[in-house]
Structure 1
Amino acid sequence: MQFIEESAGTQREEFAEKESLWSQMVEIVKFSGPAVGLWICGPLMSLIDTAVIGQVSSIELAALAFTGANNAEIIAAANTYVQIRGLAWPAVLIGWVAQSARSTPVVAGYMMIEALIKKGYNGFAISIPSPEELLQIFMLAAPVFVTMMSKVAFYSLLVYFATSMGTQTVAAHQVMIQLYCMCAVWGEPLSQTAQSFMPELIYGANQSLAKARTLLKSLVIIGALSGLILGSIGTSVPWLFPKLFSSDPEVIQEMHKVLIPYFLALCVTPSTHSLEGTLLAGRDLKFISMSMSGIFCLGTLLLLLLSRSGYGLTGCWFTLVAFQWTRFSIALWRLTLPNGILYSEETTRYQLGKLKTV
């Protein structure tokens, strides 16, 4: 009888935890969902450019990437594209000036200052940072900068290596990388969610590492589901409707060659954003910058090896798979360490002391 009661109690606790986890996941979706619109605007416009230009010519489609010795025929088209973009700069500058002259940013800035005042901060205080404060800002910003530049540099290297494979291959890579960017940014709001709510749970006034671990579990589950959905949809478009981007059979053939690595790289991306956002929230900046630099170096070596071995565009995309899954594995390993930021209170006290100093 006692055993039955204990089992029932355990089941009730598990059910309550699942119910709480589900409620938390719903709240995360409500919080992060609207932010998706801010992230997809840029990639969506680039994808529209790619689709429109791809209907005209494969050469002009390839001209949106770097150029190389094996595709010198796209230089003229690339030059025309650059000139057109150059002519658009005056309009871009006028738009920036007009945006800065509007009252909306002023009102938004005032509302943010008022929110800070309600939380006990002096939002109107202006002071010149001391050398020590500038050093602390640099110590926080430098690792984040290294992390971002490592990712940008790796994606640029993918395009650079693709330029040595011919015009049709470059055109196919342009389509696939734009589709990838369009789908990958859907995971960015999960990183923002982690950076918004994790600090309070890790080293804030309402510190609770158990709740932080539950929040991370919710984020990873949402990321995994999002990755599978985005990967399935993102793979179906170039597989079933490749002529939306190009009618060239060779370009379509090259696109279909990388569908498997495209799916594998994309399905893990949202979860990776959740994990790395948690590392940023926990101020584990040195680790994330060093690990990203190391992954970048190893990815570059693998990319060079596969390219020289004649694996073509497929080799480039499988290198991206290795890059993404390595980021996911290392971040997950770091966050599940017994002495990590989500398990050791001594670590969080140390982080809290550093933040108070800042």
Structure 2
Amino acid sequence: MVEVVNFSGPAVGLWLCGPLMSLIDTAVIGQGSSVELAALGPGTVFIDNTSYVFMFLSIATSNLVATSLARQDKDEVQHQISNLLFIGLGCGVFMLVFTRLFGPWVLTAFIGAKNTDIIAASNTYVQIRGLAWPAILIGWIAQSSSLGMKDSWGPLNALAVASVINGIGDIVLCRGLDYGIAGAAWATMVSQVAAAYMMIRSLNDKGYNAFSMSIPSPNELVQIIMLAAPVFLTLISKVAFYSLLVYFATSMGTHTVAAHQVMIQLYCMCIVWGEPLSQTAQSFMPELIYGANQSRPKARTLLKSLVLIGALSGLILGFIGTSVPWWFPKIFSHDPLVIKEMHKVLFPFFLALSVNASMQSLEGTLLAVRDLKFISSSMSILFSLGALLLLLLSSRGCGLRGCWFALVAFQWSLFSVALWRLTLPNGILYVEDLHSNQMDKLKVA
């Protein structure tokens, strides 16, 4: 338990900084214009949710680095980092071009051609933040490499500085110089570039060259794809579900989508507290399952600790998360109609948040033991069922509250399925001796 807290405590800040930047943008913009506040919803969906899709690179990096370290092969660690940095740079350049060419079209299709004022403001935000795409993905590779080495302090220092830069930039550009949503975008973009540079320096300080890039061989690329593809499918299912929430909320009017923007940013701010538990599982489980000193009893003990910490964290965060919009809604908006919509979803907000941290610890364990086929297939099925439920509730006129209850069902279903899988008597956490062919596959992976 102590080891988990020592690692995951600082790691909280890593996952907190990204949503914190968007939340700062939301709070600052909300003091000025309800239209720009509504525009932040589609804008942050396009940037933040799309970037979340590329978390498969981060997860693959952490997994590969942790596994290589378990074999005590430093040269292999450097080679993995160089390959993934090249892939990250390529994906970043692709997304930079994609955002520039297709950003306005995507936002128009998402928001609706009639909402021209929201489209214009949202596109301004997206185009500015899109300039940081290469830095974002390279920074993630460097950050995940450090986490795979069980170091959470170096990346935390980098993101703490970035958050300060973002906060000061928002205040100066938005409130002082009255640049509005464009000022918020510039502040966030600059802070993300600064964070990437500091991540690279932190990795270099450990004796690895984060400026070295190499093109993966065909066999290496296949291995990375085999690990990353199921993770990509899992992440894109989550992103698609959150995007559907914003899509249905957008059709309910400006005040409703503004309220949803506030609540979903608060939700994202809170759920990141579960990510360090997932990262802890991904960093520590490979050694206990595949390392030289493997121990499945210790692996089960680690999982129990993670789930327990997750349950306590979920209840505490649920209480704090609902208290802020209930007692201090004017932090985000002075519009009484927006505040009224926010208060409608406080109960499902609490239910969805309370289970999230435990669910993420289970997902992190499944990723660590590379039960990737199960993760991707179960996520695809639950996403389809959740989308149907969301469509049904919206068509019945359940409003924003119905959207959030669909999220509750989605989150609790993910938790239940993952818990069932990991507690099977013949599962990987309980079977002491794996067949030799299974071990060969794991070594190849």
TM-score interval w.r.t. the shorter chain? 0.7 to 0.9
Kindly, what percent of the aligned residue pairs are identical? 69
Question: What is the CA–CA distance in structure 1 between the aligned matches of 2:393 and 2:428, rounded to whole Å?
Answer: 37
Equivalences for 1:77-156 in 2 at 5 Å? 77-83=118-124, 86=127, 89=131, 105=200, 108-109=203-204, 111-113=206-208, 129-156=216-243
- Offset at residue 56 of structure 1 (A): 2.1
Question: CA 1:201–1:245 in 2, change beyond 3 Å: closer, same or farther?
Answer: same
Question: CA 1:163–1:98 in 2, change beyond 3 Å: closer, same or farther?
Answer: closer
Question: What is the CA–CA distance in structure 2 between the aligned matches of 1:214 and 1:294, rounded to whole Å?
Answer: 30
- Offset at residue 204 of structure 1 (A): 1.9
Equivalent position amino acid for 2:358 in 1:
S
Question: What is the CA–CA distance in structure 2 between the aligned matches of 1:69 and 1:78, rounded to whole Å?
Answer: 9
**After superposition, what is the alpha-carbon deviation per residue over 1:285-306, rounded to whole angstroms, capped at 9, x for unaligned?**
1100111111111111111111
8 A contact 2:26–2:262 mirrored in 1: yes
- Offset at residue 347 of structure 1 (A): 4.5
Equivalent position amino acid for 1:41 in 2:
C
Question: What is the CA–CA distance in structure 1 between the aligned matches of 2:13 and 2:322, rounded to whole Å?
Answer: 21
**After superposition, what is the alpha-carbon deviation per residue over 1:66-87, rounded to whole angstroms, capped at 9, x for unaligned?**
4789987753144134335535
8 A contact 1:59–1:74 mirrored in 2: no
8 A contact 2:369–2:428 mirrored in 1: yes
- Offset at residue 328 of structure 1 (A): 0.5
- Offset at residue 51 of structure 1 (A): 1.4
8 A contact 1:295–1:327 mirrored in 2: yes
1:313 matched to 2:408:
no
5+ unaligned residues in a row in structure 2: which ranges? 43-107, 133-185
1:30 matched to 2:6:
yes
Residue 22 (structure 1) aligns with: none
Residue 183 (structure 1) aligns with: 270
- Offset at residue 229 of structure 1 (A): 0.7
Matched residue SS, 2:40? coil
8 A contact 1:265–1:325 mirrored in 2: yes
8 A contact 2:39–2:121 mirrored in 1: no
Question: CA 1:68–1:270 in 2, change beyond 3 Å: closer, same or farther?
Answer: same
**After superposition, what is the alpha-carbon deviation per residue over 1:111-148, rounded to whole angstroms, capped at 9, x for unaligned?**
2439xxxxxxxx9x998755443322211111111111
**After superposition, what is the alpha-carbon deviation per residue over 1:221-240, rounded to whole angstroms, capped at 9, x for unaligned?**
00001111111100100111
1:250 matched to 2:314:
no
- Offset at residue 177 of structure 1 (A): 0.1
Question: What is the CA–CA distance in structure 2 between the aligned matches of 1:267 and 1:348, rounded to whole Å?
Answer: 38
8 A contact 1:238–1:256 mirrored in 2: yes
- Offset at residue 330 of structure 1 (A): 0.4
Residue 343 (structure 1) aligns with: 430
Equivalences for 1:194-273 in 2 at 5 Å? 194-273=281-360
Question: What is the CA–CA distance in structure 2 between the aligned matches of 1:80 and 1:214, rounded to whole Å?
Answer: 50
**After superposition, what is the alpha-carbon deviation per residue over 1:298-321, rounded to whole angstroms, capped at 9, x for unaligned?**
111111111101111111001100
Question: What is the CA–CA distance in structure 2 between the aligned matches of 1:85 and 1:286, rounded to whole Å?
Answer: 34
CA-based RMSD of the aligned residues comes to 3.0
- Offset at residue 350 of structure 1 (A): 5.3
8 A contact 2:15–2:272 mirrored in 1: yes
Residue 13 (structure 1) aligns with: none
- Offset at residue 65 of structure 1 (A): 2.4
Residue 254 (structure 2) aligns with: 167
One of 24, 48, 51 as aligned partner of 1:48: 24
Matched residue SS, 2:251? helix
Question: What is the CA–CA distance in structure 2 between the aligned matches of 1:133 and 1:208, rounded to whole Å?
Answer: 29
8 A contact 2:110–2:247 mirrored in 1: no
Equivalent position amino acid for 1:218 in 2:
S
**After superposition, what is the alpha-carbon deviation per residue over 1:252-271, rounded to whole angstroms, capped at 9, x for unaligned?**
11111110110000111111
Question: What is the CA–CA distance in structure 1 between the aligned matches of 2:36 and 2:289, rounded to whole Å?
Answer: 50
Number of matched residues?
324
Matched residue SS, 2:427? coil
Question: What is the CA–CA distance in structure 2 between the aligned matches of 1:258 and 1:314, rounded to whole Å?
Answer: 5
Equivalent position amino acid for 2:383 in 1:
F
Question: What is the CA–CA distance in structure 1 between the aligned matches of 2:216 and 2:374, rounded to whole Å?
Answer: 27
Matched residue SS, 2:117? helix
Question: CA 1:225–1:239 in 2, change beyond 3 Å: closer, same or farther?
Answer: same
8 A contact 1:183–1:230 mirrored in 2: yes
8 A contact 2:256–2:400 mirrored in 1: yes
Residue 386 (structure 2) aligns with: 299
Equivalent position amino acid for 1:28 in 2:
V
Question: What is the CA–CA distance in structure 1 between the aligned matches of 2:215 and 2:128, rounded to whole Å?
Answer: 40
Report the TM-score, using the length of structure 1 for normalisation: 0.82
8 A contact 1:220–1:274 mirrored in 2: yes
